[in-house]
Amino acid sequence: MGWKAIHRWLGLTLGTLTVILGITGALLAIDPVAQAWQAPAVADDLSVATLVERVTRTVPDVEEIRRLPSGVIVVFSFAGDQPQASYVNPDDGRVLGPWQPTVLPRWVKNLHRALMLGDAGRWGAAGTALVMGLLCVSGLVLLLRRMGGWRRLGSRVRGSLAQRLHVLAGRVVLVILSLTAVTALTMSASTLGLLSLEAGAEPEVLSTVTGQSEMPAAQVAALQDLSIGDLRKLGFPAATDPEDTWKVDAVQGQGWIDRYTGQMLAWQDASLAQRINDLAVVLHTGEAAWPWAVVLGLSGACVLLFWVSGVVIWWQTRRQTPRVTGNASLAQADVLIFVASEGGSTWGFAQTLHDALAKGGHRVHTSALENFQITAATRQVFVLAATYGQGQPPAHASTALARIQAAKAGQVPVTVLGFGDRQFPAFCAYAQALDQALRAGGWSALLPFEGIHQQSGQQFSRWGVALAHALGEPLVLEHVPHLPPTATLRLLSRTDFSDATGQATAILRFSWPAATLGDRLLGRGLARFSAGDLLGVVPPGSAVPRYYSLASGRDDGFVEICVRRVSGGLCSTHLLGLRQGECIEAFVRPNPGFVLPRSRRPVLMIGAGTGVAPLAGFIRRNDRHRPMHLYFGGRDPSRDFFFGPELRQWLAEGRLASLRTVFSRVPEGGGYVQDALRADAERVRDLVNQGAVVRVCGSRDMAQGVAKALDEMLAPLQLGVSRLKAEERYAEDVF
């Protein structure tokens, strides 16, 4: 069972118990804070002998003095036949008021320690602490996988509100909750009798009865040498038992003192187990450190947040995970499709391939990659594999590569298709590892390895054309992705452009619909978006969305895109035909590899044509005046200088540090953006040497030209685009 399964099923089945411990623990954290506020300031080096002298002057019939971890001094005594406990001021022994062990109802502590079930409940609480520890460990593993390792742990979290809350809370309190789980188990070991805290059997000691009077406490050397900061409690000799002794319980151990001579009759050093338990108590409860108690209380309250957001995430994933229909049995299938998918989207592509092959007369069986095997009936095998994090396999397929490497090569071709995002250095790395392992093991392939970028239906369709040719049979792959819920956007305004050939382009600004709390929790509609994310628009007459880079974020209060008419383009024609007030249905797809990380490092932005849109969005929200430098390329400044007035305004406001423009279709226009980069080679090298983040947006040909120019310019620095990608400083958004 993988970490994801452990985390999910422990959270779903026993999560309510961890919530009970978390909430009650948060409530119990109130006590150390309240006690600390009640404790008068006192010097820790005050001797216990002096404290006894002061207390006995004001409180009759004292039986015990106890110093609480918060520093509060409590005296237990009798008033007649009535026992009482009082706060005292150690400076003068004055009674400050009656003492109560807790400001909370007793059942809160009972529920936290024993689930209100007595001894059996203590075992249950210990088991729940163990569950919480496993949830923390598995959660940390999954967190590192999701964020791409320790280096990316602090980067921006994407996804629905539930996903962001789960991850953000995890980054803050997972270590603290792990510590509380470990300390709870340590304390439970002693409570349940699994670990003895005693240094040894208590000695039988008696005071020497000589008929003389008792030595005053102020003259007892052992009490003079013991500071109040090391005291736990001091038991007074009983007045009715002349052989009784002083009993002192200190941090260092326990001692018994003759009441007549002041001689230390016996001493036991505190055991290692006792010292460990004492530390566990402080770390678990916050006693003796009220600021830590506040941290513990907030962390305990977060358990409820973890549980609610975790249930919502599980429900979302359950709804979105496709179920393969029309699955032939493994033994009878002539085509096998194996899938590795973290979020479930790759299963949708597998279903499309499955249906197309079945329509062509094949018996097709589709299963998870960890079930990889070949039968006598198998003629073709396809592996559709997504990559997670920094080249890791999806959690469910963690053992699949080893299984494939151990399998004996057969005569059946095994073709691998990868799914990933080119913004990440490890694009389709896991799928490539699978392909390399298969070839090294002697397996053949019907088609060479190919990677699908950002779940592109168009790329998948083109791969299908090549597959049909290789199979020698008709095959059409028209993948209709599982679309998230859409939001209705109303066109507020448009700025139109037209080039010399009459090709239309427009900047379209739409209203931003307010999102409900449910929308934000589930990530529906446009609950959250940033410049650089993608707006998915499904045009009339098509089930396949087209994606446009966003030039705005949620904080801007509107949705803005830049659209150029594509010859025969269904969606661009639809969008450019909109009139003010008309509406579209759209959704947002996060583009986490392209959005800017939070940093003060300079940003080098290179955009051509409509590719300037997300870069304009970055500049628009640059309220902190981070150094941003833009290289913009167009054809004619009078026709396609998109966002020109805004860029000039942002330059004047300091949101944009510098602007360099080139136009390829006018005399002395400067050529292309890569030409402008080469002309400024020294400046570009200086920016990159300062740690600049690079963002490139535009056509694929432009991006290739820019990458080549940068490789040439950065060679003296022993740098290049591949190195910048590996350092997560370079990303492209190309079309």
Q: What is the mean pLDDT of residues 5-15?
A: 85
How far is residue 132's CA from residue 173's CA, in Å, rounded to a whole number? Answer: 12
- Output the CA angle 529-535-536, nearest 5 degrees: 130
Q: What's the confidence (pLDDT) of residue 337?
A: 96
When comparing pLDDT for 247 and 593, which is higher? 247
For residue 139, give the nearest of 356, 276, 328, 303 by alpha carbon: 303
The string of pLDDT tens digits covering residues 100-110 is 887 788 888 88
Q: What's the confidence (pLDDT) of residue 41?
A: 64
Q: What is the mean pLDDT of residues 536-563?
A: 89
Q: To which residue do tokens 């300390």 refer? A: 183
CATH 1.10.3720.10 is the classification of domain 321-471? no
Average pLDDT of the chain, as a whole number: 87
Are the beta carbons of 616 and 646 closer than 8 angstroms? yes
| Phi-psi label, residue 379: left if phi above 0, alpha if psi -120 to 50, beta otherwise | alpha
Q: What's the confidence (pLDDT) of residue 214?
A: 87
pLDDT band at 7 (very low <50, low <70, confident <90, very high): confident
Structure tokens at 32: 């150390």
CATH number for 487-589 (one of 3.40.50.1100, 2.40.30.10, 1.10.10.10, 3.40.1000.10): it is: 2.40.30.10
Q: What's the confidence (pLDDT) of residue 676?
A: 95
pLDDT band at 211 (very low <50, low <70, confident <90, very high): low
Structure tokens at 172: 């803050």
How far is residue 524's CA from residue 526's CA, in Å, rounded to a whole number? Answer: 6
Considering 59-73, 143-157, 502-516, 547-561, the range whose residues carry the highest mean pLDDT is 547-561
pLDDT band at 384 (very low <50, low <70, confident <90, very high): very high
Are the beta carbons of 609 and 506 closer than 8 angstroms? no
Q: What is the mean pLDDT of residues 52-56?
A: 92
Considering the domain 603-734 in this protein, what is its CATH number? 3.40.50.80
Considering 494-503, 539-548, 603-612, the range whose residues carry the highest mean pLDDT is 603-612
| Phi-psi label, residue 223: left if phi above 0, alpha if psi -120 to 50, beta otherwise | alpha
Please tell me the least confidently modeled range out of 11-15, 61-65, 356-360, 590-594: 590-594
Please tell me the least confidently modeled range out of 295-299, 453-457, 562-566, 634-638: 453-457
Q: What are phi and psi of 602, to 5 degrees?
A: -65, 160
The string of pLDDT tens digits covering residues 495-508 is 999 876 667 999 99
Please tell me the least confidently modeled range out of 371-385, 536-550, 666-680: 536-550
Statement: residue 524 has pLDDT above 60: no
681: Cβ contacts below 8 Å, ≥ 6 apart: 713
Are the beta carbons of 21 and 135 closer than 8 angstroms? no
Structure tokens at 484: 């998230």
How far is residue 77's CA from residue 62's CA, in Å, rounded to a whole number? Answer: 4
pLDDT band at 2 (very low <50, low <70, confident <90, very high): low
How far is residue 364's CA from residue 328's CA, in Å, rounded to a whole number? Answer: 5
How far is residue 43's CA from residue 273's CA, in Å, rounded to a whole number? Answer: 29
For residue 332, give the nearest of 382, 369, 378, 380 by alpha carbon: 378
Give me the amino acid identity at 320. Q
Please tell me the least confidently modeled range out of 386-390, 407-411, 533-537: 386-390
pTM flag (> 0.95): no
The string of pLDDT tens digits covering residues 298-327 is 999 999 988 988 888 888 777 666 578 889
Please tell me the least confidently modeled range out of 42-56, 190-204, 237-251, 562-576: 190-204
How far is residue 336's CA from residue 324's CA, in Å, rounded to a whole number? Answer: 13
pLDDT band at 521 (very low <50, low <70, confident <90, very high): low
Statement: residue 631 has pLDDT above 90: yes
172: Cβ contacts below 8 Å, ≥ 6 apart: 302
pLDDT band at 525 (very low <50, low <70, confident <90, very high): low
* DSSP H or E stretch at residue 207: none
Q: What is the mean pLDDT of residues 251-280?
A: 90
| Helix, strand or coil, per DSSP, at residue 105 | coil
Burial of 254 (C-beta count, 10 Å sphere; 0-12/13-18/19+): buried
For residue 657, give the nearest of 690, 610, 697 by alpha carbon: 690
Please tell me the least confidently modeled range out of 80-84, 372-376, 638-642: 80-84
Rg (CA), the chain: 35
Considering 285-289, 669-673, 680-684, the range whose residues carry the highest mean pLDDT is 680-684
For residue 728, give the nearest of 560, 615, 592, 577 by alpha carbon: 592
Statement: residue 114 has pLDDT above 80: yes
| Helix, strand or coil, per DSSP, at residue 359 | helix
How far is residue 653's CA from residue 690's CA, in Å, rounded to a whole number? Answer: 23
Q: How many CB atoms lie within 10 A of CB 379?
A: 13
Considering 124-133, 182-191, 329-338, the range whose residues carry the highest mean pLDDT is 329-338
Q: What's the confidence (pLDDT) of residue 543?
A: 73
When comparing pLDDT for 517 and 310, which is higher? 310
Partners of residue 86 on adjacent β-strands: 75, 98
When comparing pLDDT for 541 and 527, which is higher? 541
556: Cβ contacts below 8 Å, ≥ 6 apart: 512, 617, 620, 621
How far is residue 692's CA from residue 629's CA, in Å, rounded to a whole number? Answer: 10
